[in-house]
Structure 1
């Protein structure tokens, strides 16, 4: 209870002291922390002990964080970019100003007239507060003595390092109140002359007191409480009463002039720099009381002059002490700057050492590379010498080869002359046969197919073992396909469904049209059996393209298959006077022969088209697999040549990716947009060249456009495929070593060295009855499939005999050797 009373008295006394001080000073400063809860009690203490018309200034030292939170954790600010540090600093300052706004709003609620803010940014809070006191001439400051959690009634002085530093280092002219948890702990008075005089209390006894001392004690009794406390909470009130006593003593100096001591007072400074007036009596002397009439005016003037002199000396000492403190601060700042420069120099030195080490390592590495390059240069020089020797030998061989080439050219010229004579010998009979065919076509539709072989039902039953299930190789909506052997030739027999929609007249017309259609990439019709409503086609041993899409087909073979399909479509769509549209183009209807030569089959679904304005109108209802069918054909029922182009586009994308037909265009389009086409390419095809694969994908997407007007026709697609075909048309699946060419030589092969069927460099050139030279394997396969017409002129061959073209073979071999 006693402690509470003392505490309450101290608060009242300290408030009266602030009020008295504020009569002279305009502003009272209070140091606050960032946490409003922690600094709220100290601010409220000041507000409750300060008149409402006085200005309160909130002082805060902002300490920037040295470590900044990031996604990787707390990282030192020196390791981050300047932009990141600046952004975090701005957030810190915003939070700091928001806290200060809470302090100022608290001042407004307590009806303080004005409230200001004073902020400085320093890494050291103690130095920041000392600097603020010095820069702004702060004379009254309230700050925390310690954290609120350390408060106790036994506290006599500040405990925190910041408070202790301010108590020792702050400008002597600044008076500081140290408060903890809303309670005044102690006060550091300002070191001015009047306070220095009041700092030392008189200690004389009642027996030897002078009149001045008695008057001071009377003032003490009147102003102060009956009993004084030595605790920190009562120190403020003691100072107030002692100031009153000092003023009373000064008054007695003028009233009781005769009662002054015989020894004049002397001014001196204490150890802590405070000004102290020595006692007016000498030690051991008993003061003598004289009346004012016996005191001379001269002694009083001398005493006053000496007192004034001591006060001036005290002011000078205080000024010198402040200047010395300022010099010390400047010296500390210079020392800090010098230390920083030393750190920068050490950092630069370490960086230079590392850079020099890196340069030395780089120089050593360059020396090793230079040594390796010198060794490589010597090896290249040696190889160059050997190459020059070989070149000299080759020049000698070239001179010999020139003569050989001349002989070959002579033989070639003789061969061409022989070919011309053969053509002349066969020209007239061929024209006669062509005239006979035209006459037969005009007489009857059946006569148009007279060059086809006609088979009986018994022959077909014998060839297929009475159409046994074991001989069946395929089945579709129009019938079944069987494998059989007719007249020592393996054939494919397509027997139409007896319950089908196709009548006898339509069957006869189909035979007529198919007998006229001849192309290297269309399955050839060998014959027919009207009795069994069956068609006999050439047999292709490698099955359909659908079966091989799930197996390993190299990317070269896939591009060649695409080009062959496109070539056949160009041929069908260009037929005169009626264009042909397949209408059911899909991988199942694309058969593969030897060397994977592709041929389109199932022309039973062909459409005869006539031009009507901008559309082609089919003579039959549409039919086909949904995924390969033109969307506009499904909606409008109108079939055009671009319906085949749509199906061809889907096949292109399947060749490229190996994926199912449904949704393949969407997958490829997304891959192209995201520039990751290689992810959807069929890996079983090998390493696709990205340029060729991208061109093929773009062509497939154009052909698959939902709007048929945006699709290219077959001729335009062929123009896009030609460059791709040229890049791989000269490479065989297993070419002999004698025909292997350098890549740069494949683009300049003479056209007469290329087989018209395989579109490749010939190894075994053979002259057929039509006068053209073909690859032996190609023309033999053509004839063995039952075809009797020329692949070039589509006219019937007079015979199936082949003549080796030795002159052309020698020319090809010589050209290959020269290219290699």
Structure 2
């Protein structure tokens, strides 16, 4: 409500203070404020039409009564001015031109007091006080008009400075004031801003020597004066409205400029925000790239760690293997060089007792270095090799054979059970089927070997030789491989024996050749290069092995055997020279093994194949064929072989007339009768028989006759 008045004062460079007073007693509160601040002049205006006007009717009179006497009170209402002079004015004292004029505006419970310093307002107030009431009213209105004119001129200067024309504003206001409703609205705004209606006036009471409020009615002016007065009021209100419009227009321009500046700043901030967002996106992209690089580097680091771990593990494993191999080699070297025997020691008395003082009945073989006896030691059937008594037991050959056999073990090498070193005796396991030479040439009425067993024997010999050539710490060369030194055990399992001439090479390299003073071995089986140069190598055993395989195929002597087989292959009649007692040979497999044997028996060492890499793989393939044939043959033999209870324990043949003896066993009648004529003990239990009566076993006889039919 006070904004227009405050703006007007600011344009006139008048200092204004707005004070808000809160109190239930308005008049008392205003009076206390006047007394507190020593206010000399107080202007009261009426409240706006409405609730406050009806509620505070007559408030100006109440305030005038309560105001101290040193203050002059001006009450303006509806163009009327009522004055309550102070004691100083009544006494005719001179009012200072520089005194302050206070304006106070009140509402329902809030009143505002305003101090104004203006010499012109004081002068006009004095003039109004000295004249009559109508004249004072006209002069007061003229003073207010002058004030608004000054304000309008100031506003015109401001508008001119901003590039706006005051005439345009006046035309706009004049056009808008042509309507009666607009004029009434402007008049109501002017009256609400600066006047309070009040019908009270002030008179001087001689009894109390002071002015007291009294309701008076001004004399009615003539028509012209009223018209001029109303016209002047309208002009004043119009000027006031123009000033308000100029202020509003100025504020609108300022607001527009501020709005433009704000829009400009908003656009700039938006651009900055976009740049920030773009930079943020770029930073995020760079961060993602860096994170991907970091993850890739981490993965690569992890992979390198794993590789390093695997390499370290492999290195540790290799070191462990190397350490283990070194320890094993050292252990073997210590064992070979040590004095502790690795075999069982037999006494000379045990050997003599077992062989019945070397009875010729127990002798099963005879060689250049000694004789072989079959006997039993510690309930085990063994073969005892006794060297000649001319000091051979102290020879290098005996010591070497004992040293080698006591430290090697292979299923196809003859097993050394013990020895009596003092008398040159070696104790071996007993091989029931003798040697391969006797079997091939059927000495002592031995049975022939089937072809599939010969294939298997060839593979077993090659396996044993490969083991000797790969032994640690040094390779071993047999040097005397031949059919007579290949022994056959139960089920025709072959084992290489007579390793007395073996040579231990001083190098692990199988290509190394050993210089011997004089060739040793058996003629026809000795390597031709070894005979010529005295240099021996593992290929020397390969040459002898080739001849042994050719003998397995043909059952012929080794002399000129290679030429015979090679000629037969070239002529396409290999089957003509094969051993017919071996059965039906598979021609293709036999041709393959014959060519392999010829390649092993080449005259030059470099033309012979490697035993481990070439010979053994082919023999393994041929062994599979032989195993299949052996399985088929075993099924046929089982069908044709008589049951065990058909066999006589004495004759080891099928019984013709089975009968039961006193010991409960069944024998052939003729065989048991001959036995009882010479012995009174059981042939099975070696116990005395209570009687010699025989009981025929007709049930068994019927079964035997049925089997024979």
Q: Normalising by structure 2, what TM-score?
A: 0.41
CA radius of gyration, larger in = 2
